[in-house]
Amino acid sequence: MTNADATPAPSTAGGSVQVGWRGAHRPGRRRIRTSTLAMWGWMALAAGVVIAALAFHAGGGRWFIIETPSMGEAAPVGTLVLTQPAAVSDLAVGDIISFHPPTAPDGVYTHRIVALESGEVQTEGDINGVRDPWTLSGGDLIGKTTAVLPGVGWLIRCLPWLFLGGLGVWIITRFIRTATRRVSWLILGWSLVASITGFVVRPFVGVAVLTSKVTDEGAVANLVSTGLLPIRVQAVGGSYLELVPGQVGTITVPTLAESGTYKLVTNLDLDLWGWVAMGLVCAIPLLWCLIVGLPPDGPDEAARPARERPRALTARTAS
């Protein structure tokens, strides 16, 4: 038996061995690319979330995204609340429940119980100041809140934009065969998708006017923060407020415009470490390039046509 390796052997009495390279040398074990691992990781995470959500729903659980600021800091706008079925006898004053109000059976409210008598429930939003104009019975209840997840509702709202935008970037960059350029455009594309999503959904900063009253000196307004981050609100020529998500405050406006309106200016109000964290988040694309780096210049192995991929060694024995 004649063995052939990568180095041509000298002629022997029985013949000679000719070794030919049919393409470049290829390692025996295929290299698993980082992008492939990341893709499978995200797919596994998504599958786990879907399975957990289906199991929660099958057990009677429900989830809702808070869209109005009536629950104040207890459940700011963009909070995801999870509920489990509960009977009136299982409830107590102070519990947060989700329900269909008798005056609007198709609507869903999430408020706090403020009175519970003879199987009847009265509710109120934490910042509303007055009780809801209805009395609930067991048939109106959806469930008792078991988890309050601030900000998760905003993430769910962003997911369709992030998924469709990310998928579009991935499809487009598949046509770029040079590995370095391909990864560079992927980083740029995903950064743009994240920026556009933030601009459209606007989860970070928001303020709502609850009440406004004109006075002899100008106006007084009650405000509530509806975004994810702390903010500073200032009336032009008047006072200012520093608010966290769901917090209520009062601001004074010394003068009104000729139309009877006033202008509010809203800015982020982060501490030093908050700004550091914000800077790190914004620098993720740069940090990726500096720490992880870009692949070496050259055609991407996954993008090559099959005929250009490396082939295994072949050997011929001549007698």
Q: What is the pLDDT of residues 28-51, one digit of tens each?
A: 344 446 667 777 887 888 899 889
Given a cut of 70, is residue 315 above it in pLDDT? no
In a domain, 183, yes or no: yes
In a domain, 184, yes or no: yes
User: Does 218 lie in the same domain as 195?
Assistant: no
Q: Where is average pLDDT lowest: 56-65, 98-107, 137-146, 294-303?
A: 294-303
Where residue 212 falls among pLDDT bands split at 50, 70, 90? confident
User: Does 253 lie in the same domain as 178?
Assistant: no
User: Does 125 lie in the same domain as 100?
Assistant: yes
CATH number of the domain enclosing 144:
2.10.109.10
The residues, ordered by sequence, that sit 6+ positions from 43 with a Cβ below 8 Å of its Cβ are none
Largest CA distance in the chain: 116
In a domain, 67, yes or no: yes
User: Does 217 lie in the same domain as 186?
Assistant: no
User: Does 264 lie in the same domain as 193?
Assistant: no
Task: Please tell me the predicted confidence (pLDDT) of residue 28.
Answer: 37
Where residue 255 falls among pLDDT bands split at 50, 70, 90? confident
Select the highest-mean-pLDDT range: 220-224, 236-240, 300-304: 220-224
In a domain, 11, yes or no: no
In a domain, 50, yes or no: no
User: Does 139 lie in the same domain as 90?
Assistant: yes
User: Does 224 lie in the same domain as 168?
Assistant: no
> How much is the mean pLDDT over the chain?
83
Select the highest-mean-pLDDT range: 6-10, 43-47, 251-255: 43-47
In a domain, 305, yes or no: no
Domain limit, last residue, from 202, 219, 237:
202
pTM over 0.75? The answer is yes
Q: Where is average pLDDT lowest: 147-151, 186-190, 237-241?
A: 237-241
**Residue 318 vs residue 200, higher pLDDT:** 200
> What would the pLDDT profile of 256-289 be if each residue is shown by its tens digit?
766 667 788 899 999 999 999 999 999 999 998 8
Task: Please tell me the predicted confidence (pLDDT) of residue 124.
Answer: 96
Tally of domains in the chain = 3
| 184/178 Cα distance (integer angstroms) | 10
For residue 115, what are the domain limits? 62-151
Task: Please tell me the predicted confidence (pLDDT) of residue 310.
Answer: 52
Task: Please tell me the predicted confidence (pLDDT) of residue 19.
Answer: 46
